Amino acid sequence: MKFKTQVQDFSLKLGLVQGISERRATMPVLSHVLVTLKNNKIEISATDLETTMSTWCEAEVMKEGSLAIPARKLYEIVKELPDGQIEVEEIGNHWVEIRSSSANFKVAGLPSEDFPIVPELDSANLFSVESFVIEDMISKTIFAVSPDELRRNLAGIYFEESAEKNLRLVATDGHRLSLVEKKIDGGVKFDKGFVVPKKGVAELRKVLRLSETVRIGVGDNFFMAEGEDIVLIARLIDADFPDYKQVTPEVTKVTISIGKDELLSALKRVSILSSEKTRSVKLNIEKDAITLVSVSPEFGEAKESISLDYSGEPAELGFNARYLMDVLEAITQEKVQIGLIDELSPAVIRPDDDEVYMSVIMPMRV
């Protein structure tokens, strides 16, 4: 194996796969990237057996071949080199030599045969979608993914085709739920819903940043995404996502409309003195005003009022302030609607327009 390539491009592509290769892997080869030379291109692949990413960059290939090279060390070497051309050559016994105009490195690798087989992408199952659309949908749901690894069916984002033939993404951790839906030109090709693990979704965002349009799909228990010179394949979570429609109120008794930025700023201030354990904030909704209150035995008390146009019955509810702030930070519109049923039922937060996005948050006793 021997090739020449540009430092800047090689460093960029190596940086993309760093989040997948495992530094403390039980299998040493999982901390490596597989570098394969073919048709004057370098293919760089990394996997943790659940998520695999492959990316390509241009090269002058003098001798085809492949070798597994320690991912972190290779990236650290290349990113510190000055811009220009480098030469990489396998020098025997799975060692690789990296040469620039003024520097020389020798790194021990592993045989390519030790590297897990990279799943192949079945392009027949893919459909095109604009990257900014998927990125927006992910930003509106990923914060609601459960951090509890024991609840595997909640440890990712649920993808499905809605009844209106739109793309729908849903995430929940059991205390809150976020749902967003977008129309996709050309339609969606999902036979049924599936859960993509959070790490797979995080790596998908890297693909989205590189390409204006991506092709996504699912097949053989894998989620697939193809961008410009990059492919991501993530194993699906083998567990049924809960019936989220059971916890999504169809009708609320009271709806208030309030400025998003005003409410978010007040929450940030009042939550400073909330309990670090519960992050609870009480919302007292009265005629013409909503008052936010946090009380903590350790820190003290905070209170702030926001005027609003409301003529319904007074209401008093408690929420995790972080949950409310996560939703408000994901909404881009100026105003939001908060739908309420009673003090024990979940609140529904939506943007004050026609976008199909909502977040359901369970109340808490404060």
Summarize pLDDT for 233-267 with one digit per residue, the tens. 999 999 999 999 888 888 788 889 999 999 999 99
Backbone angles phi, psi at 344, to 5 degrees: -105, -5
Is a pLDDT exceeding 80 seen at residue 6?
yes
Report the pLDDT value the prediction gives residue 342, as an integer from 0 to 100.
86
Summarize pLDDT for 86-116 with one digit per residue, the tens. 999 999 899 999 999 889 999 999 999 999 9
- pTM of the full structure: 0.92
Is a pLDDT exceeding 70 seen at residue 366?
no
Residue 276, classified by CB atoms within 10 Å of its CB into exposed (0-12), middle (13-18) or buried (19+), is exposed
Is a pLDDT exceeding 70 seen at residue 25?
no
Is a pLDDT exceeding 90 seen at residue 58?
yes
Find the Cα–Cα–Cα–Cα dihedral 122, 123, 129, 131, rounded to 10°: 70
Backbone angles phi, psi at 115, to 5 degrees: -75, 135
Report the pLDDT value the prediction gives residue 132, as an integer from 0 to 100.
96
Both structure tokens of 76: 């650290």
Report the pLDDT value the prediction gives residue 313, as an integer from 0 to 100.
82
DSSP bridge partners of 347: 361
Report the pLDDT value the prediction gives residue 86, as an integer from 0 to 100.
96
192-206: burial string, b at 16+ Cβ within 10 Å, e else: eebbbbbbbbebbeb
Do the bridges between strand 176-182 and strand 167-172 make them parallel or antiparallel, or are there none, so unpaired? antiparallel
What separation, in Å, do the N-terminal and C-terminal C-alpha atoms of the chain show? 65
CA gap 263, 351 in Å, rounded: 13
Domains and CATH numbers, the chain: 2-114 (3.10.150.10), 123-244 (3.10.150.10), 249-361 (3.10.150.10)
